[in-house]
Amino acid sequence: MINHIYQLTGVKTLCIKYEDISFSKDVIVQPEYMAICHADQRYFQGKRDSKIMCEKLPMALIHECCGRVIYDPTGEFKKGQTVVLIPNMPPPNYGTIYENYARGAHFLSSGYDGFMKELISIVPDRVVPYQDIEPEVATITEFVSVAVHASERFDKISHEIRDRIGIWGDGSLAYVVANVIKLRFPMSKVTVIGKQQKKLAQFSFVDETYTAAEIPDDLQVDHAFECCGGEGSYYAIQDIIRYINPQGTLILMGVSENQIPVETRMVLEKGITIVGCSRSGRRDFEYAVTMMRHSNIQQRLKRIIFEEKPVSSIGDIHKAFEDDMFTPFKTVFKWNL
């Protein structure tokens, strides 16, 4: 059948590409809801390096999506079953490392068409069923899975003293990471450091919050997550190196377009372990959809979701991206195209 793909072809320019898809060996999913990620917004606004823009466009944006199964040749899914989709596409054999770091892996909506399509034809292994989660919340499963992945790596790498864990950032990523850490490490105190008191007020479930300007001199954290990205990464990393206890683990999660200077003298002196974390894989998705069935987690996640009006035209896509610029947290919309 003829499938409609809504591709970004240039800065704020969308065109429809048509492709023929068939009922064959892939699962076909009808997208129901989508969420905008900062990475999508950077492409849409043309804030990526122009060389990167030329290399990666045209492509369909969006890698956070939930939908319903239209067709499944494997018999694993029922018609109409609610699912979330994994945008990471690993190569067939990648050994013992995580799928999201595998050489040869690619990511949908980064040089390959993302989920902004009428129908998504995808290998069965990239489809994860969910239940008991409202679809607008299930939409951000990929986002939650990134936090799950970081928490998994943290658990494997960091030493066992985890009395206080610091999270730098007051945006959506910090919020979701804080949720996952509180659930997964209930004995640890969680401290969140952000820029805006108004945004920090959303973190009602953590033990303490401080604005970056008011961090107590005697604050000590055993480990820390950097969830700022952009310009904020530099200041967050600087703070973390200062307040982290010796041999603490620093999980880097924020994406920055520019290189960030790091005070390596103190990293060496304290024996800090720095771990880069990006994206997620199937196991993280499975953990995420299980975790998100908790009603209190869903309630919390809802607080960072702004539901845009349904997208029924290319004009609506523009409006969703424009409104997202002024939304402090996650923009989610029903997909009617």
Among residues 75, 80, 92, 271, which is the contact residue for other proteins, using CB under 8 A? 80
The answer to whether the CB of 113 falls within 8 A of the CB of 5 is yes
The answer to whether the CB of 11 falls within 8 A of the CB of 50 is no
Q: What is the smallest separation between the CB atom of 70 and other proteins, expressed in angstroms?
A: 5
Q: What is the smallest separation between the CB atom of 211 and other proteins, expressed in angstroms?
A: 45
Q: Does 118 bind other proteins (CB under 8 A)?
A: yes
Q: Does residue 135 have a cis peptide bond before it, meaning omega lies within 30 degrees of 0?
A: no
Among residues 71, 94, 101, 107, which is the contact residue for other proteins, using CB under 8 A? 71
CB-wise, 62 or 206, nearer to other proteins? 62
CB-wise, 42 or 318, nearer to other proteins? 318
Q: What is the smallest separation between the CB atom of 332 and other proteins, expressed in angstroms?
A: 18
Among residues 219, 274, 275, 337, which is the contact residue for other proteins, using CB under 8 A? 337
DSSP 110: B
The answer to whether the CB of 250 falls within 8 A of the CB of 272 is yes
CB-wise, 215 or 314, nearer to other proteins? 314
How many of the other CB atoms lie within 10 Å of CB of 129?
A: 14
Beta-strand runs (E) in the chain:
2-10, 13-20, 27-35, 59-60, 64-71, 82-85, 88-89, 106-108, 111-112, 120-122, 127-129, 164-168, 189-194, 208-211, 223-226, 249-252, 273-276, 305-307, 330-334
Map the footprint of other proteins across residues 6-45, applying CB under 8 A.
Answer: 16, 18-20, 22-23, 28, 30
CA atoms within 13 A on the CB side of 47: 12
CB-wise, 10 or 73, nearer to other proteins? 73
Which span sits near other proteins by CB under 8 A: 67-75, 184-192, 207-215, 243-251? 67-75
Binding site for other proteins (CB under 8 A): 1-2, 4, 16, 18-20, 22-23, 28, 30, 68, 70-71, 73, 79-80, 118-119, 312, 336-337
